[in-house]
Amino acid sequence: MEEKKLWYVVNAYSGHEQKVKDYLESRRESMGMENNIFRVIIPQRTEVEIKDGVKKEKVRKMFPGYVLIEMVMSDEAWYVVRNTPGVTGFIGSSGKGAKPIPLSDEEVKKFIGDGEEQAKPINTDVEVGDLVSIIDGPFKGMSGTIESEDKENEKLTVLIDLFGQETPVEVDLIQVTKN
């Protein structure tokens, strides 16, 4: 029996990841597995989406159908996890009673991070070259073409017709809507 707690990946029915997480956490307590099963995580990230000038945060699953479990791999813990409703098996196990292979430290860092807050990716329905209307700010009501975008700072450079001349102006992502 291993004494070290490591991370393992469990395959779950797609769309049932939260139920599997809840089942595992309740079974950990009800079956006295607190010393073997520690954390259960659904790998996900928050993305900022800007559409029609409205900024929304959405949580997206990084790997639908998978749940990460930090555990000490004992026969009892392996049995409890494998026989949890919604769990179809461990990833990295050949079956036939073979124990699964844990994730490497690099993989764990990639999936759950290293505790540092990471920038939220921004999804917009506009891209360079699109024709947009400015819906807010000093250039409200004007249309133009996106020349460049700075997603990190949530800014766009839009070429508008100002006094008969094409002029670049900087606007926030939420100040435009796609034509």
Name which of 22-31, 33-42, 112-121, 167-176 the model is least confident about: 112-121
Tell whether 92 and 169 lie within a shared domain. Answer: no
Domain boundary among 85, 112, 139: 112
Can you give the residue range of the structural domain that contains 165? 126-178
Tell whether 55 and 103 lie within a shared domain. Answer: yes
The answer, yes or no, to whether residue 75 has pLDDT greater than 70, is: yes
Domain boundary among 78, 112, 146: 112
In a domain, 119, yes or no: no
Tell whether 102 and 170 lie within a shared domain. Answer: no
In a domain, 140, yes or no: yes
In a domain, 102, yes or no: yes
Residue 107 sits at φ, ψ, to 5 deg, of -65, -40
Cβ 15 vs Cβ 77: under 8 Å = no
Q: How many domains does the chain have?
A: 2
CATH number, domain of 27, equals 3.30.70.940
H or E element at residue 41: strand 37-41
Tell whether 49 and 99 lie within a shared domain. Answer: yes
In a domain, 15, yes or no: yes
**Spatial distance between the Cα atoms of 80 and 74, rounded to a whole number of angstroms:** 10
Domain boundary among 81, 112, 143: 112
Tell whether 101 and 164 lie within a shared domain. Answer: no
In a domain, 120, yes or no: no
Tell whether 99 and 131 lie within a shared domain. Answer: no
112 against 15, higher pLDDT? 15
pLDDT in tens, 24-45: 999 999 999 999 999 999 988 8
Tell whether 108 and 132 lie within a shared domain. Answer: no
Tell whether 42 and 67 lie within a shared domain. Answer: yes
Quick count: other Cβ atoms within 10 Å of Cβ 18?
13
If phi over 0 gives left and psi between -120 and 50 gives alpha, with beta otherwise, what is residue 90? beta
Which pLDDT band, with edges at 50, 70 and 90, does 2 fall under? very low
pLDDT in tens, 77-110: 999 999 999 999 898 876 666 788 898 888 888 7
Cβ 158 vs Cβ 176: under 8 Å = yes
Residue 21 sits at φ, ψ, to 5 deg, of -60, -45
